[in-house]
Structure 1
């Protein structure tokens, strides 16, 4: 009797577990930043499941300090999506008829903050079931830049570098030669999968075009590099030329400064001399003063002459004085006006 009851109980439990179930197994999904992640959740119902259908998706963030968040909910034939602000407008049910058994969702424009464990819960009384999906958001390599660290001269040591601007680890590197023999030097083989290749004692055979490809689990990126190994430059001549050029430039600047300073001194000297002339040099004598002095000198000369030669002298001397000078000369208080000048004759002069 006990055995019959045990078998009946096990059968009942088996029937109950077959009532509502989610088909897809738990899994891990990796996607690149900016892409869309498809999170599956397909379920089946049984005739025993007669209650209302409720479906909710929860997110357990990678940061364990944050509580679980409801990101989307289906209940009472309505969809609710305004629970989690970080995913607002970026999470949607795929099926228009969720009751058909598909509660899968899409998360668009993935961000690094979307990393975490997503759980799908389906309830239809008395059945209940749930499954988890772990989502990892990676950044594919972008902005990769190739460069040469050092001087590309024969016999020199330098490095070839391949550096992506961003990209989630782990990253894989692959170097290739795209020109000439397309064969990489044997000494480079150990570093063909590293971001840096060390070149020792460079030769012209290394010249060519190289590519570096960077990969991770969600994408790849590539950059090109042109390597030209040239003979050593004449560094001594270059340095000497630079020094001579600098000295010539300094001499030229010194000459310009000296000429400017000299010109300023000359202009200053001319201004000072011109100013001194205007202040210190007296004005030239007027023609009136000259005429007066001329008349005065004749008067004194007449006083020293004898009556015998006075007549000829008076005629000669006074005829030499321009009459117009006397007419234009201003009247002086010490001399009588020109029109009252006496006419001297020989017989009227008395010698003192």
Structure 2
């Protein structure tokens, strides 16, 4: 019984939402929405599943963004709504690319909760590339370069089509 009671106590201050899938095209701006139940936000941690434990997409604490712990690929590309009204902790990501794909998590700790209440939202961000055309010297052959969404930007599949 003690284990059950401890489990119930540990879950009291936690709010979790279902994972939402967001699909964007390469180059678009994306907003991942996260909201605290009130305006008393203490800490906002936006992370991605494949980042190290001390690296963040965005970290907000002590009233400002902590860029020392921000992953380099998100610097100057991710920010919060400047007003953060009504508990809004959404992150705006600029110019997304295939390398931004992954599972993102928003974790908010409210400042007025002694229990350290946390709000968790998860998003599966999928980014598709529109592809490009490569012209081959022989005018009878056209090659089309395309990137499949599950590959990292360093790995390409090239499809050829004859016309």
Q: Aligning the two structures, in what range does the TM-score lie when normalised by the shorter sequence?
A: 0.5 to 0.7
Q: Compared with structure 1, are the counterparts of its residues 169 and 115 closer, same or farther at alpha carbon in structure 2 (3 Å cutoff)? A: closer
Aligned positions, number: 139
* Between 119-128 and 73-82, the greater mean CA deviation after superposition: 73-82
Distance in structure 2 (CA, Å) of the matches to 1:32 and 1:165: 16
TM-score w.r.t. length of structure 1? 0.33
Q: 1:116 corresponds to which residue?
A: 102
Q: 1:135 corresponds to which residue?
A: 125
Q: 1:106 corresponds to which residue?
A: 92
Deviation string, structure 1 residues 264-310 (Cα, Å, up to 9, x no partner): xxxxxxxxxxxxxxxxxxxxxxxxxxxxxxxxxxxxxxxxxxxxxxx
Matched, 1:164 2:157: no
Q: Structure 1: any 5+ residue segments left out of the alignment?
A: 1-8, 150-160, 171-194, 198-224, 226-352
Q: Compared with structure 1, are the counterparts of its residues 75 and 25 closer, same or farther at alpha carbon in structure 2 (3 Å cutoff)? A: same
Shift of 1:27: 1.3
Asked if the contact 2:32/2:123 (under 8 Å) is kept, the reply is yes
The structure where strand makes up a greater share of residues is 2
Deviation string, structure 1 residues 171-193 (Cα, Å, up to 9, x no partner): xxxxxxxxxxxxxxxxxxxxxxx
Q: Give the alignment of 1:304-323 within 5 angstroms.
A: none
- CA-based RMSD of the aligned residues comes to 3.4
Asked if the contact 1:142/1:166 (under 8 Å) is kept, the reply is yes
The structure where helix makes up a greater share of residues is 1
Distance in structure 1 (CA, Å) of the matches to 2:14 and 2:85: 13
Shift of 1:164: 1.7
**Residue of 52, 55, 65 corresponding to 1:67:** 52
Shift of 1:166: 2.9
Asked if the contact 1:21/1:43 (under 8 Å) is kept, the reply is no
Q: Give the alignment of 1:1-352 within 5 angstroms.
A: 17=12, 21=15, 25-45=18-38, 53-61=42-50, 67-68=52-53, 69-82=55-68, 83-93=70-80, 95-98=81-84, 100-124=86-110, 125=113, 126=115, 127-143=117-133, 149=140, 163-168=143-148, 196=161
Q: Secondary structure at the match of 1:100?
A: helix
Q: 2:153 corresponds to which residue?
A: none
Q: Which has the higher contact order (CA 8 A, sep 6+)?
A: 2
Shift of 1:169: 6.2
Q: Compared with structure 1, are the counterparts of its residues 53 and 168 closer, same or farther at alpha carbon in structure 2 (3 Å cutoff)? A: same
Q: Structure 2: any 5+ residue segments left out of the alignment?
A: 151-159
